[in-house]
Structure 1
Amino acid sequence: REKGQLICRASGTPKPTINWAMNGIPIENSPEDPNRKVEGDTIIFEEVQTGSSAVYQCNASNEYGYLLSNAFVNVLSETPRVLTPANKVYQVIRNNHALLDCSSFGSPIPKITWFKDSQSSTLEGDPYLLHENGTLEIYVAQALNSGKYICVARNTLGIAENHVYLEVKEPTRILKQPKYKVAQRNRNVVFECKVKHDPTLIPIMIWLKDNGELPDDERFLVDSDSLTITDVTENDAGTYTCIMNTSLDHDSASAELTVVEQPDPPTDLELTDMKPRSVQLTWIPGDEHNSPIHKFVIQYTDSLHDHGHWHNLTHVPGSKTTAHLQLSPYVHYTFRVLALNAVGLSDPSNPSHMYKTNPAAPEENPSGVKGFGTEHDNLMILWKPMSGLQANGPGLQYKVMWRQKDVDKNWTSVTVANVSKFMVSGTPTFTPYEVKVQAINNNGIGPDPAVVTGHSGEDLPVQAPDIVQVLVLNSTLAEVNWEPVPPKTVRGHLKGYKVYYWRERSLHKHNPHRVEQQLLTFSGNKSHGMLPGLQPYSLYLFNVRVYNGKGEGPASSNLQFETPEGVPGRPSFLRITNSNLDSLTLEWGPPNDRNGHLTGYTLKYQPVNNSNDLGPMEELALPANKTSITLPNLKYSTRYKFYFNAKTGQGAGPVITEEAVTIMDEGKCFTHTALASKTGPSLCSPLKDSPPLYGCLLLLLCSVHPAAPAFGNVSSSMGEDGMLISWEYWGAEKHVYVEYIVKNDNKEWQKEYVNGSQAYVLKGLKEGLSYRVRVVAKGHDNQAVLHQSEEVLVTVPAMPSRQVDIATQGWFIGLMCAIALLILILLIICFIKRNKGGKYPVKEKEDAHTDPEFQPMKEDDCTFGEYSDTEDHKPLKGSRTPSNGTVHRDSSDDSLVDYGGGDGQFNEDGSFIGQYSGKSSIRETAGGHERSEAPSPVNTTTMNSFV
């Protein structure tokens, strides 16, 4: 049903005539076909049918000749076929276009339609584009486009479909690109290249250097997301690119590495423009090594005064290559230059030629001049010595000058050399002096030196502070005032005042102890000071002294003051000594630091439940002379928290706390029958207002424990490490012990300290013995037992001895195997010996000379004769010796004479012939008599083994 044309173009002169033929018959004579139309040189086919298949000839002719051309028109009829492989998987990166192929064949040409997943609508329009060849294109693929696609090819003859799959992958992206690096030589560099890719794709990281492969060098370490270069060299500089490849896409990023180092040293130092006190220095800079030079440092050495030691002279910016140097007199200069960049200093350049300057008078004087005394009658003048460079010439000396300030007008002087100090003796104590030091050399004197004021030596102060007073501010603070001493009596630099004070005693009779002396220093010319941290209700003594650089002066007279009452310290202890059903007894001790007269105590307490919530607070005021109290009407089996402190007239002191538990006890009741007795005291007493009772009186006696039990059940169990003892304990005492003793033993109880636990393992108990065990709680003195558990009797089982099963021991099994092997070897040897002689007729000859009723057999199965007959099959067991008691000798002892009486005889070849014919033998076995017929005469051919 398709259209088609056959065209036959021909040219010639005159113009050729076109004639058509079909299958060799002119087309006009061929069967008429309504779907075929001839128009000159063209045949037009409309909706061809299968019958339209034929060979068409085109004949182009004119008067000069003709040309023929054949064409075969084949009209196909084929159902559709999809040529694209089934279940093909297409993978594309998100945001890229996807092409899904659907190559088909059929006649008529199939029409292609596409479907996705289970959708019934065809895929048309954005984002899909269907090409004429059946390919489906998705402009911008997204994750939602992933899935199964169905390609359907159909024509009038049938339909065919194919399934393909599209997977849209996430693109590969470099999240953290490598950054530009500047590294010093011999350092390490790390380029990071963190990549995100689709997890279903396998990534491959590749690093390039300058668009080529990395050098084959172990210094280049490639990791999953980084490149590390160790011990960087200048050759490592360049551009590094990380490329992340997957099977679908890739991404890349680059960064540059610049390797820097210290610059090379300058070269070609040259001195020009040389003058007496200056010179021009020039040089050529070295390689900067990728880091600009910031400055040049010029150094010098003085071979005259300090040879070999280089000193910085000056520096110039890195853009300059010359420096104008100012020089000192009397120096032999040698210069060198260093370059500095961001990495550091270069190596020094080669030194320049030496340049010498002429000597001159000093241009400066010694520095650091000062005067002070080391003793009360001297003055030490000290200065910093000048260097050879500062001396400006040979013959350096120092002129030391001094005079008493405001007293002397003229200077006293002395000239010294090679020293840095001078002592002036015989000076008055702590007197101001003016001093100065001047430099001198062979070329002249230095400038006029500066004047420095110093003092001669100090001595101890001679006067104590006067008019000393004290003002008590509160129970812990006092202020001390004094009149400063006259400056002349200080006899030195006034450093300040010192106050010595100490607690002489407490004003309370219970605290008479004395505290060591304390010191407070007040620097400068002070006239008062504060004494903090005093003990309340105490007597203090103190004195004041002035001090200078030499030491302290005399002390003022001791004065005393009393501190008022303060709040007391913490009570020395608080403990619960008795725990009853509904009451608790508390004991306490007064504070060690009462700090006044105690006016009483305050006790507060409140219950605490299992969730540690606090109940209502109760408060009691207790007198000062009381040391214990019993709190009644408490709740049984309840924990209480106590707060306790002491009070003076100034207030309450700090609080101490304690906790205790009341525990319920049911008590024990029992009956007792009292019998009246005329001869002894009666348990029956007459009741009030009633006649006496004689006979039996039933009394109900109830025993109630004065204190609730602190211990509950005590249990024991035997473990690998020892006997485990566990118990319940509700007491407040912390000193708990486990005591044990061997049953029926009169020795002392042994005890083990528990340390707050409620279980303990007793180790070292002897096997098979019984022990009495109990748990006790002791008071704070570790002596009095306040609580004790019930005793339990524990027995340490005797461990059964380990029975060794000999059948499972390795040595026994080995021994048995060795014995079995030995027996096997013996049996093999016996078997070999028994078969040693073969089938010789001599054995039958032996048997013929014996009583046929008694065939001799060796008692030992293994001692067969040399000619034992293996064909007799005699049983080894139950054999008997002959009745006459004769035992045959070994076959090795027999001779041919023994066989002479028989019927047999020797042939010429020495064999026994004919002696076995017609013989029979009878042998007796353990089971009865067995009779066997002798064999027929043996064929000579079978007897070759006997020759």
Structure 2
Amino acid sequence: MPYWPVTGPPPNTNTSEGETVNFDCTASGKPLPQVTFYKNGIEMTTKKEGENWVIDGSRLTIYNVRKGLQGGGDNAVYQCKAENKHGYLWANFYLNLLAFKPQLLEEPGEVEAVLGNPFTLECKFFASPLATVSWKNPSLLGKSYTQNVDQLGVGRLIIDKVEEDNEGQYECTGENKYGTSTGVVSLLVRKPTKLAALPYTRQTHQAGQPLRLPCKAEHDPKLPITYRWYVSDKPITPEDDDRYEITEDNTLIVNLPTQFDSAEYKCVASTKLDSSERKILIDVQDVPLPVHSAYIESCDPDNNDAKITFSHIEPSTTAVPVNEFWVYYQIDPDVDQTNWKLHPIPVDARQNEAVVENERRVKGSLSIALQPYGRYIFKIVARNAVGDSTPTIVKNNCETNAKPPFRNPSNVRVEGVTPNNLMVYWDPMQREIWNGGKFGYTIRYRPKDGGNWEKVEVDDPFASEKSITLDKEDPWQPYEVQVRARNEKGDSNVTPESITGRTGEGIPGVIVSGFKVDNIGSTSAQFSWEPVDPNAVNGEFKGYKITYWSDDEDDLNGSYDNNNDGSRFKREHRHHFKREISSSRKSVVLSKTATMGDITDLKPSTMNYAYIAVFNGQNEGQQSETISFRTKDGLPTAVSQLHAFPVNSKSPTEKGVVLLAWDEPRTANGAITHYSVVKCVSSDDDPVTTENQEKYCKEPTIYPSDVKSARLTGLEHESPYRFHVHAHTSAGQGPPNSAEIRTLPSAMKYTLEPESPDLLKESIGDDHFNVTLIPGAYDDEIKRPVGNDFYIRYRQAGEDTWNEKRPEPDQLTTSVTGLQPGTKYEVQVVSVQTDDNGNVHETTSRTHHITTTGQTPMKNYFLALLLLALILLLLLCFCIICFCTRKRGQKYLVAEKERQQGREPILPKDRGFEDYAKRDDEEKKSLTGHSRGDSETDSMAEYGDGDPGRFTEDGSFIGQYGAQSKGLIAEKP
């Protein structure tokens, strides 16, 4: 049956006179169809007059078409028939002859082109005859381009390669014999989309590590861009597969990749004009797939042998193929639990491989030698260059028969803990060499010099030690010991090795004699002693130990108390820690051949104690007689709290004056003998240094150890000075502490009040406090004097009268004594300046508050009052209790109740308790005798109690209100 090709039958055609028209009616079929053309239903076989057409096979061509009436022209409806023996096809198409000048069918407007790519501009004209289209733009001059017009009147300008200067407006003109028409096309040139070239097209990646593939394109900023990722040409959608993640910068992340993620990955960056793509092949290096199958092919329990057969399958394109197989085993799962042992011989995969249908198949086997008494289970893993696969459990298991042990424990050691003890140690034998059930150890021992073997059984197969208690204490004596393995089949077939060990060491039975100190320094001491007999140590003689300690209460703060003016607080503080510090002992160990030894970490000027003892591997012997010695004095550290204050002179001859104040060294290392003060004339241009101090410094001035301040006179006014203060002991001079100061000028306003001083609290006790007076700072602009004398005044808080205390001459530190404990005091420092006319000017500092330690007398008074009040309160409570007790014997309201019932009270109104009242006559006793019908007495009356009315059985006074002295029934009046 004939059929039309893809292009279909001939189309309808509009043209104008004078044109040439072609109609192609080619059809397909077997056999090839014959084509016949018709005009207005009449077969075109011969030409009529004026007709100019040619039929060439299946093609009809009409030349110089002319319009006519009633079929006289070429404008008509044409038909073509394609026919073979199976059937035919029929098509109608017309030829319409028109006459129009060109008309632009649609405005081209703006179009966009990509730089460097070919591009086509179009203008579509309707015209008859078909219009010719021409283009105008300055950029076309000298450039390569092509222009054409198709049958539909579409004129095209084809630019082979768009350049930047191609951007602009293009004028297209359509023209035929009837006229012209013009259109304008605006061409915008855009940058191309480019993805950076990858450094490689194939990459290997480790499995389990996140795979990151970046994708960033350069594109025209005026064009929106989209990114798409593909794996093996399939789009990646992170929403459907959580393995993938695409970040904001379009990076693809493959989380926890495996060998199944090995593939080609492609990133496509697209705009509406163009696109760019990059591909990369990823090979994920992963551990192999698990072994496909494995089983025990044979098991020989007598010959202790098993054969394992396995097979493995993996893709032939695997990035890292398997290269060998390893077998693990457990001898006894109950013992080994999660511990597997490795068979040392692998199976090579390459010798057993075959590739079948894109699969690499490996089939192999392995024979394994086993141990007796085993319940073997196996697992197998495949291994490549990355690692091991997940293990595959081998099907079935293999059990072997028991046999005697083939070996004995190794690393046997013998040590003694006590003189009658042997501790035997060994490395427990592994389960795989037990060779049978009821596995254990047999220990034999005897004295080294001979004797009968003693035996001890150890049933725990995992035991690694055994303590043997001997019948007698025999320190450090050698014994011969053997440890042998055994199981249900008997002892091992190997003779155990004999190991020699000793019993425990005893206490050394020797005291070192002749222990003495030979040479004493400030921080070291040398000792000597007489050697001891090693045989008397009762063990392995290790050496000597010297133990030493010191009474270092004087060194808690590192200084001696050389003054008596208010340092009691510091001394008490030191003694508080004496016992704790003195209890700290040190020791030094010396070799067994030594007869002399040194200690080098002692403190200077400290009483020390030491003794020596010998020791063996376990015990220390009895100590020698303790000796005592005092180390020599050492050099003190620098003085602390050094201050220098420029003050005004008391007379013109004193010139510049500086007051120095310091505190004792933090570590005196002995008794301070004196202090030395060195005066150095400094200079702003040439300051005092270690190298030039001999040039600028004077001879030192010596001060007693109890003096910690100095008044230096005769200095130049308004000059820089440096002062060095040293502390001295019998060992020599300690390092200096330095202070730099500038003296006051000679000219200042002496009529003004001096600068305000200050105060520094040193120490506070129950009845005293120590303070340091600090002169005020000189102000060069105001030129107010600092003062040439100072004192303090103090009073109890709330009082009006001030007490004064002046320090010793030329000193700034003073102690105020005779104070009340626990009392708050107000303290002020007063600076004094006396001018040349004898006028005295004073300035007081701010008020400081100092509270002495301890408790105030008033507080003790209040405590005594509180105690007295408490005693009075207790006495009052006691009196109230006594009063209430006596009150219980008086009248009760129950008597009135008895009268209302016709009974008279037993007691008169004026009687109280019978114990405290005179007893009535016997006639006033009960007239009813022992009648119990109406009696309210208790059972005591039945037994002849002389006074049953006094107490009831429970000891109360209810019986007093019974009818004992009156009749029970009152007479009627």
Q: How does the TM-score come out when normalised to structure 1? A: 0.51
Alignment of 1:696-775 (within 5 A): 703-707=751-755
Aligned: 1:280 with 2:301: no
Q: Is the 8 A contact 2:167 2:189 kept in 1?
A: no
Q: 1:437 aligns with which of 474, 483, 490?
A: 483
Tell me how far apart the structure 1 counterparts of residues 283 and 826 of structure 2 sit (CA, whole Å). 79
What secondary structure is seen at the aligned counterpart in 1 of 2:196?
strand
Instruction: Give the partner amino acid of 1:531.
Output: I
Aligned: 1:553 with 2:553: no
Q: 2:641 aligns with which of 558, 562, 573?
A: 573
Aligned to 2:586: 519
Tell me how far apart the structure 1 counterparts of residues 723 and 117 of structure 2 sit (CA, whole Å). 84
Tell me how far apart the structure 2 counterparts of residues 397 and 77 of structure 1 sit (CA, whole Å). 120
Aligned to 1:267: 293
What secondary structure is seen at the aligned counterpart in 1 of 2:407?
coil
Aligned: 1:346 with 2:384: no
Q: 2:505 aligns with which of 432, 449, 458?
A: 458
Counterparts in 2 of 1:213 and 1:284: CA distance versus 1, 3 Å: same
Residue 456 of structure 1 deviates from its aligned partner by: 0.9
Tell me how far apart the structure 2 counterparts of residues 622 and 285 of structure 1 sit (CA, whole Å). 103
Aligned: 1:193 with 2:193: no
Instruction: Give the partner amino acid of 2:479.
Output: Y
Residue 604 of structure 1 deviates from its aligned partner by: 7.5
Aligned to 1:856: none
Q: 1:312 aligns with which of 338, 341, 360?
A: 341
Aligned: 1:360 with 2:435: no
**Paired residues, what number?**
611
Aligned to 1:715: none
Instruction: Give the partner amino acid of 1:241.
Output: K
Alignment of 1:416-431 (within 5 A): 416-418=457-459, 421=466, 422-426=468-472, 428-431=474-477
Aligned to 2:356: none
Which deviations, in whole Å up to 9, do the C-alpha atoms of 1:568-617 show, x marking residues without a partner?
113243345776697653311222432355563456789999xxx99667
Alignment of 1:251-650 (within 5 A): 251-256=277-282, 258=284, 260=286, 263-264=289-290, 267-272=293-298, 274=300, 276-286=302-312, 292=322, 294-302=324-332, 306=335, 311-312=340-341, 314-319=343-348, 321-329=364-372, 331-341=373-383, 342=386, 344=388, 346-357=390-401, 359-383=402-426, 390-393=433-436, 398-405=441-448, 407-408=449-450, 410=451, 412-414=453-455, 416-418=457-459, 421=466, 422-426=468-472, 428-441=474-487, 442-443=489-490, 445-465=492-512, 475-478=522-525, 480=527, 485-503=532-550, 510=561, 516=582, 517-522=584-589, 525=592, 527=594, 529-538=597-606, 540-559=608-627, 563-575=631-643, 584-596=658-670, 598=673, 600-601=675-676, 621-625=700-704, 626-630=707-711, 644-647=725-728
What secondary structure is seen at the aligned counterpart in 1 of 2:535?
helix
Tell me how far apart the structure 2 counterparts of residues 108 and 416 of structure 1 sit (CA, whole Å). 121
Residue 458 of structure 1 deviates from its aligned partner by: 0.6
Residue 487 of structure 1 deviates from its aligned partner by: 2.5
Which has the larger displacement, 571-580 or 584-593?
571-580
Aligned to 2:251: 226
Q: Is the 8 A contact 1:171 1:197 kept in 2?
A: yes
What secondary structure is seen at the aligned counterpart in 1 of 2:549?
strand
Counterparts in 2 of 1:137 and 1:288: CA distance versus 1, 3 Å: closer
Residue 567 of structure 1 deviates from its aligned partner by: 2.7
Aligned: 1:242 with 2:267: yes
Counterparts in 2 of 1:667 and 1:393: CA distance versus 1, 3 Å: closer
Counterparts in 2 of 1:444 and 1:584: CA distance versus 1, 3 Å: closer
Q: Is the 8 A contact 2:677 2:723 kept in 1?
A: no
Which structure has the bigger radius of gyration? 1
Which deviations, in whole Å up to 9, do the C-alpha atoms of 1:617-671 show, x marking residues without a partner?
77564424242234666887x9999775535576654555678898999977xxx
Residue 529 of structure 1 deviates from its aligned partner by: 4.8
Q: Is the 8 A contact 2:195 2:218 kept in 1?
A: yes
Q: Is the 8 A contact 1:499 1:545 kept in 2?
A: yes
Q: Could you tell me the percent identity over the aligned residues?
A: 19
Q: Is the 8 A contact 2:377 2:397 kept in 1?
A: yes
Residue 370 of structure 1 deviates from its aligned partner by: 2.6
What secondary structure is seen at the aligned counterpart in 2 of 1:488?
helix
Which deviations, in whole Å up to 9, do the C-alpha atoms of 1:7-47 show, x marking residues without a partner?
99xxxxxxxxxxxxxxxxxxxxxxxxxxxxxxxxxxxxxxx
Which deviations, in whole Å up to 9, do the C-alpha atoms of 1:520-554 show, x marking residues without a partner?
33365462554333323445443332222332123
Instruction: Give the partner amino acid of 1:277.
Output: N
Residue 455 of structure 1 deviates from its aligned partner by: 0.8
Q: Is the 8 A contact 2:297 2:308 kept in 1?
A: yes
Tell me how far apart the structure 1 counterparts of residues 379 and 723 of structure 2 sit (CA, whole Å). 84
Tell me how far apart the structure 1 counterparts of residues 514 and 162 of structure 2 sit (CA, whole Å). 104
Q: How does the TM-score come out when normalised to structure 2? A: 0.50
Unmatched segments (≥5 aa) in structure 1: 1-5, 9-55, 59-66, 69-75, 116-122, 669-701, 712-728, 733-745, 750-780, 792-947
Tell me how far apart the structure 2 counterparts of residues 471 and 287 of structure 1 sit (CA, whole Å). 87
Alignment of 1:92-103 (within 5 A): 92-93=114-115, 96=116
Residue 284 of structure 1 deviates from its aligned partner by: 1.5
Which has the larger displacement, 702-711 or 418-427?
702-711
Residue 206 of structure 1 deviates from its aligned partner by: 0.7
Which has the larger displacement, 445-454 or 338-347?
338-347
Tell me how far apart the structure 2 counterparts of residues 151 and 748 of structure 1 sit (CA, whole Å). 111
Which deviations, in whole Å up to 9, do the C-alpha atoms of 1:105-154 show, x marking residues without a partner?
9x999896736xxxxxxx877xx55768897969695xxx5696687999
Aligned to 2:771: none
Tell me how far apart the structure 1 counterparts of residues 683 and 187 of structure 2 sit (CA, whole Å). 74
Unmatched segments (≥5 aa) in structure 2: 1-17, 21-63, 67-72, 75-99, 126-130, 149-155, 174-179, 350-363, 563-570, 650-655, 690-695, 760-775, 780-796, 801-824, 831-842, 848-973
Tell me how far apart the structure 1 counterparts of residues 723 and 189 of structure 2 sit (CA, whole Å). 77
Name the Cα RMSD after superposition: 5.9
Instruction: Give the partner amino acid of 1:593.
Output: T
What secondary structure is seen at the aligned counterpart in 2 of 1:703?
coil
What secondary structure is seen at the aligned counterpart in 2 of 1:251?
strand
Q: Is the 8 A contact 1:301 1:309 kept in 2?
A: no
Which deviations, in whole Å up to 9, do the C-alpha atoms of 1:876-915 show, x marking residues without a partner?
xxxxxxxxxxxxxxxxxxxxxxxxxxxxxxxxxxxxxxxx
Structure with the larger RCO, 1 or 2 (CA within 8 Å, 6+ apart): 2
Tell me how far apart the structure 2 counterparts of residues 147 and 171 of structure 1 sit (CA, whole Å). 18
What secondary structure is seen at the aligned counterpart in 1 of 2:405?
coil
Q: Is the 8 A contact 2:508 2:536 kept in 1?
A: yes
Counterparts in 2 of 1:301 and 1:168: CA distance versus 1, 3 Å: same
Alignment of 1:83-98 (within 5 A): 90-93=112-115, 96=116
Tell me how far apart the structure 2 counterparts of residues 748 and 162 of structure 1 sit (CA, whole Å). 111
Tell me how far apart the structure 2 counterparts of residues 643 and 313 of structure 1 sit (CA, whole Å). 79
* Higher fraction of strand: 1
Which deviations, in whole Å up to 9, do the C-alpha atoms of 1:732-774 show, x marking residues without a partner?
9xxxxxxxxxxxxx9699xxxxxxxxxxxxxxxxxxxxxxxxx
Aligned to 2:236: 214
Residue 454 of structure 1 deviates from its aligned partner by: 0.9
Which deviations, in whole Å up to 9, do the C-alpha atoms of 1:694-713 show, x marking residues without a partner?
xxxxxxxx6343446789xx
Residue 459 of structure 1 deviates from its aligned partner by: 1.0
Q: Is the 8 A contact 2:299 2:398 kept in 1?
A: no
Counterparts in 2 of 1:275 and 1:102: CA distance versus 1, 3 Å: closer
Tell me how far apart the structure 1 counterparts of residues 160 and 662 of structure 2 sit (CA, whole Å). 94
Alignment of 1:2-151 (within 5 A): 90-93=112-115, 96=116, 114=138, 129=144, 145=164
Residue 447 of structure 1 deviates from its aligned partner by: 1.1
Residue 208 of structure 1 deviates from its aligned partner by: 1.0
Which deviations, in whole Å up to 9, do the C-alpha atoms of 1:135-187 show, x marking residues without a partner?
7969695xxx5696687999xxx9x9989676563652237789846576xx6
Q: Is the 8 A contact 1:277 1:328 kept in 2?
A: no
